Amino acid sequence: MILQQLVNGLSLGAVYAVFAVGFTLVFGVLNVLNLSQGAVFMWGAYVGLEAVRTLQLPLPAAMAVAVVAAGILGVVTEWLVFRPLQRRGAHRWMGMVGSLALARILIGAAQEVFGTQVVRYPDSALIDATIVIGAARFQGLQVVAFGVALAMVLALGILLKFTNFGRAIRTVAFDETVARLVGVPVGRVRVVTFFISGALAGGAGGLWSLLFQSVSPFMGDTILLKGLTVLILGGLGNVVGALVGGLLLGLVEVGSIVAVGSGFRDAVGFGLVLLILLTRPTGLFATREAKRA
């Protein structure tokens, strides 16, 4: 029973983590919340689904298509909303409002193109293996999703930590003026950051739609709120924090279904946020933010 819940919680949490890591990466670089992230997640899910249904691609290829398409949407967000605002020196609220407006456009467009009904993957595309350990039964899909999610976050971690481009991203996140002074191409770093962030959102969308077998134009709203929760749990702009926070939220949610019933599941996450903000005002894993504040 406990093992079962653990697997459920970890696979859910891994998807949260993938989404939130992309979310927090943009915050780190731009210091602005990109609220179109949920809509990009939803588009990633639809592109993956359509790649399987109409293009007849195998599942891994379809996921790759979804990730790239969502990454491009991320770049479009930067180009359409954040770059003009940044150039004008607009207030940071404008970025939030602008990206939310873009989300609205994307959601409306998805309704127009795909309809408002909940759709699912054809059964033939799925891995229907069930793994049984003792009394616990879980789907092979959950394990695969967990593995893929972890691989994505790990790949990002390696990119950030060990490559020159990763160093450039971290420099911009540390301080944009400093980055300019040492010759970092800030504009390009920003574009790539948005691509990575969008790609992660799209990947999370693909994994989510496989795990829960439902794709709808409104699926981005829930994950956006979850992403914000994880962002606070881990500390704004903290990539490792987002990973741990995502897994933690998944486990807490699954645990809370057992403890207080599914009706309160979403309240538990936000209750946790309030509690953490009151005791540790810059997140559980505050490092740089704390110094900056």
Partner 1 sequence: MSEFYYTYENVIDLCLLNAVLAFGCLLLLGVNLLSLATGGLMAVGAYLSIWLTMQERWPFGPALLAATLAGALAAAGLGALVLRLRGDYFAMATLAFTEVVRILALNWDPVTGGALGVFGIPKYTETWQLLLLLALVVYFVWALRRSALGDRMRAIAEDELAVTASGHDVARVKLALFTASGAIAGLGGALAAHLNSFVAPGDFGFLRSMDAVIAPVLGGVWNLLGAAIGAIILTALPEVLRFSAQLREVLIGAVTLLAILFLPTGIASLPRLLVRGRIAQ
Closest CA to 29 of 85, 82, 89: 82
Q: Compute the least distance from the CB of residue 89 to partner 1, in Å.
A: 9
The answer to whether 262 and 58 are in contact (CB under 8 A) is: no
Phi and psi (nearest 5°) for 287?
-130, -80
Q: How far is the CB of 12 from partner 1 (least distance, A)?
A: 18
Tokens (6 digits) for 202: 């799209």
For residues 205 and 43, the answer to whether their CB atoms sit within 8 Å is yes
Q: Specify the residue, 60 or 108, whose C-beta has the smaller distance to partner 1.
A: 108
Judged by beta carbon, residue 2 or residue 258, the one nearer partner 1 is 258
CB 254 → partner 1: shortest distance, Å? 17
Reduced to 3 states (helix: H, G, I; strand: E, B; else coil), residue 217 is: coil
Nearer to partner 1, 12 or 102 (CB): 102
- Give the whole-angstrom CA distance, residue 202 versus residue 30: 20
Q: How far is the CB of 18 from partner 1 (least distance, A)?
A: 20
Residue closest to 241 by CA, chosen among 203, 293, 285:
285
197 contacts 169 by C-beta, under 8 angstroms: no
Per-residue CA distances from 157 to 60, 161, 196, 252 (Å): 22, 6, 12, 24
As separate numbers, helices (DSSP H) first and strands (DSSP E) second, the chain gives: 13, 2
Least distance to partner 1, CB of residue 136, Å: 29
Distance between CA atoms of 82 and 29, rounded to whole angstroms?
Answer: 12
CA distances 145 to 12, 82, 142, 150, 152, Å, are 9, 32, 5, 8, 11
Closer residue to partner 1 in complex, CB, 145/228: 228
Q: Which C-beta is closer to partner 1: that of 145 or that of 224?
A: 224
In the complex, the smallest distance separating the C-beta of residue 85 from partner 1, rounded to whole angstroms, is 7
Q: Is 131 helix (H, G, I), strand (E, B) or coil?
A: strand
**Of 64 and 94, which CB lies nearer to partner 1 in the complex structure?**
94
Comparing CB distances to partner 1, the nearer of 88 and 291 is 88
> Position of tokens 């653990």?
6
Rank residues 170 and 265 by Cβ distance to partner 1 and give the closer one. 265
Supply the minimum distance, in Å, between the C-beta of residue 101 and partner 1: 4
Least distance between partner 1 and beta carbon 240 (Å): 18
Length of the chain: 293
State the residues that interact with partner 1 by CB under 8 A: 27, 33, 80-81, 84-85, 88, 90, 93-94, 96-98, 100-109, 111-112, 116, 221, 225, 228-229, 231-232, 236, 263-264, 266-267, 270-271, 273-274, 277-278, 281-282, 293
